[in-house]
Amino acid sequence: MAPLEIPTLETERLILRAPQPGDFDAWAAFCADEEAARYIGGKQDRIGAWRIMSVMAGGWFTRGYSMFSVIEKPTGRWVGRVGPWQPEGWPGPEVGWGIVRDAWGAGYATEAATAAIDWAFATQGWTEVIHTIEAANVNSQKVAQRLGSRILRQAVLPPPMNVAVDCWGQSREEWLARRR
């Protein structure tokens, strides 16, 4: 098997790269923040955070894509995870986001998701992108709107989540037309 090449993406303020062992303490603190983790599986202890980070890292090997660690360029600080995601049973190819609470409002989710969507459409052959968002998650709905997405359909996430969500999203053609 050829070695896997996980890309590094750069935006004006951020670096999106593969999760690394040195990210774990920041990742675990993020997962332990009840407010930040509310709509992405809920608060987790360090063991749960390790499993989540390992699943995200493993997605690169099983799917060829997964969430990136999001790093602030000026500080080198881990500020979240954003990227393509479609575990077994998921309602479609998603680009999702989770940003540390003290960076909310800085536009990082939109900036990183834009880069991740560009990459996914350019390399993965996706015909649409979705964002699974609970009806009460107003902050993520605003990010989806800034990305040009709209509610396409409803779904229930597979176990163990079993959560009803709105699938926001758009077609590849809609995304590319907006980006022109």
DSSP letters, 118-161, are HHHHHHS--SEEEEEE-TT-HHHHHHHHHTT-EEEEEEEPPTTT
Average pLDDT, the chain: 96
Residue 2: predicted pLDDT: 55
| DSSP strands (E only) in the chain | 9-10, 14-17, 68-72, 78-85, 94-99, 128-133, 150-156, 164-171
- Cα dist from 163 to 69, 71, 88, 166, whole Å: 25, 29, 15, 10
Q: Is the pLDDT of residue 1 over 50?
A: no
What the chain holds in terms of domains, given with CATH numbers, is: 9-126 (3.40.630.30)
69-97 pLDDT per residue, tens: 999 999 999 999 999 999 999 999 999 99
CA–CA separation, 66 vs 14, rounded Å? 17
Identity at 79, one-letter amino acid code = V
* Contact yes or no for 9/119 (Cβ under 8 A): yes
Residue 39 tokens read as 């709509």
Rg of the chain, C-alpha, whole Å = 15
